[in-house]
Amino acid sequence: MKKLWGGRFTQTAEEWVEEFGASIPFDQELVEEDIKGSLAHVAMLGKCGILLEGDVQKIKQGLQLLEQKALNNELSFSVSEEDIHLNIEKMLIEEIGPVGGKLHTGRSRNDQVATDMHLYLQKNVNEIILLICEFQAALVTQAEHHIEAIIPGYTHLQRAQPISFAHHLMAYFWMLERDKTRYKESLKRINQSPLGAGALAGTTFPIDREYSASLLGFNSIYENSIDAVSDRDFIVEFLSNSSMLMMHLSRLCEEMILWSSQEFQFIEIDDRFATGSSIMPQKKNPDMAELIRGKTGRVYGNLFGLLTVLKGTPLAYNKDMQEDKEGMFDTVKTVIGSLQIFTGMIASMVINKNQMSAATKQDFSNATELADYLASKGLPFREAHEIVGKLVLTCIDREFYLLDLPFNEYKNACHLFEEDIFDYLDPYTAVNRRNSVGGTGFREVENAILQAKLRLEKK
């Protein structure tokens, strides 16, 4: 079969070589973007008088017909046409005749594919931003209902201090807020148009790149034609931002897996996001959380894969850069799916407040309250720290907790202790007293939730 670029060639590649080099098995994902870019390009060619209006209208009608067929999943792609661009061009020529070949005037597949990927990320990054907002809203709702639910806070996975469960959830809200900001910031680079840069050197035709850019919803154009066709920074940035997001999701996955275990029993994950065992009837496995945790490595791999592809490629376009798409497609699918799953998991999880509260009374996470108590009475904190450490050791030796220690033991340890110490040791009181800005005190958590709601209203 004759190639659209085959004039210079006397032989054709064997079928297996064509299959190895073809990108159509995966870049057909760009069909809508490719047609959208072509519609803008032909409109620009008509505006600039490069194509006759009759030809422009015929090409537009043909592209719109292909666009509808694409929406109806009625297009059939061929490996022999290599990629999405040549497939669409060949289909267009079959629909409207040789005039369809005029569509490629003033552009190259190099600027065409770059345009397609900018459009693809423009659409999907905006969707991801909306999904992050939905996930944040689910976190805020759960937090609002559990401000006074007390949970052990951990450092080194050892119980550290009691905190509000809402405060813990809201930590993830602010992580996601940073993720959202990064995606929004990246749109400045995504919303640039490479269309009209040609293969690398521009074109002799009097095109209007700003006009086609405006039709596609881009804010600006690339200033350098070589940079326009060789730049994949915007994809690397997307993969980097997505890796950061998935890292945050993975951390919450790990906590939900722990919290739902028999050892913790702090939460129960909804049946829709869990599975059973083929051999152990009692099992309820947090599979979706585990799967998202695992998919994080997949997204990291896509980032490092593209960085490795790009690190040794000279300017401008090289066939290596065909490897920029599959990781991008896969990351978009993974991030969107993970956010949708997580929103459902958070919104539907059941919180076991009694189990959480009981856990805070069976540890020494209130020890800092003792040290702060003594420091507030004028004792240097380091001395207070040592006194409390010895009291903790006494409790460990006797196999009970600080709230169980008789008052005379406190008085013997330090004359500054008064009987109000037991109020300070209560986990609920300990949490509620921490009202420094950004702290776990209930008043501060309520304020943080209010601020979060205001952020979500602005989106």
User: Looking at residue 21, what is its pLDDT?
Assistant: 61
* Burial class of residue 321, CB neighbours in 10 A (0-12, 13-18, 19+): buried
Note the pTM of the prediction, 2 decimals.
Answer: 0.91
- Rounded to a whole number of angstroms, the CA Rg of the chain reads 30
Query: Of residues 1 and 415, which shows the higher confidence score?
Result: 415
CA dihedral 165, 166, 169, 171 (to 10 degrees): -110
The pLDDT tens digits for 142-196 are 999 999 999 999 999 999 899 999 999 999 999 999 999 999 999 999 999 999 9
> 192 Cβ partners below 8 Å, 6+ apart?
118, 213, 218, 219, 220, 221, 222, 234
Tell me how far apart the terminal alpha carbons of the chain are, to the nearest angstrom.
Answer: 52
Average of pLDDT values for 388-405? 89
Condensed to tens digits (0 to 9), the pLDDT of residues 225-277 reads 999 999 999 999 999 999 999 999 999 999 999 999 999 999 999 999 998 88
**Segment holding 77, helix H or strand E:** none
**Mean pLDDT for all residues in the chain:** 93
Q: Report whether pLDDT(137) > 70.
A: yes
Domain boundaries, the chain: 13-105, 117-194+224-358, 367-425
Q: Residue 412 is encoded by which pair of tokens?
A: 């013997």
Q: What is the mean pLDDT of residues 87-113?
A: 96
Task: State how far the alpha carbon of 193 is from the alpha carbons of 30, 118, 201, 327, 410, in Å.
Answer: 16, 8, 15, 22, 71
Superfamily the domain 367-425 falls into: Fumarase/aspartase (C-terminal domain) (1.10.40.30)
CATH 1.10.275.10 fits 13-105, yes or no: yes
How large is the average pLDDT for residues 337-342?
97
Residue 42 near residue 63 (C-beta atoms within 8 A): yes
Comparing 371 with 30, the larger pLDDT belongs to 30
Q: What is the pLDDT of residues 282-292, one digit of tens each?
A: 889 999 999 99
Q: Which two tokens stand for residue 7?
A: 């004039």
Q: How far is CA 26 from the centre of its chain?
A: 22
Class of domain 117-194+224-358 as given by CATH: mainly alpha
Q: Which residues have a catalytic role annotated?
A: 156, 277
Evaluate if residue 14 carries a pLDDT over 60: no
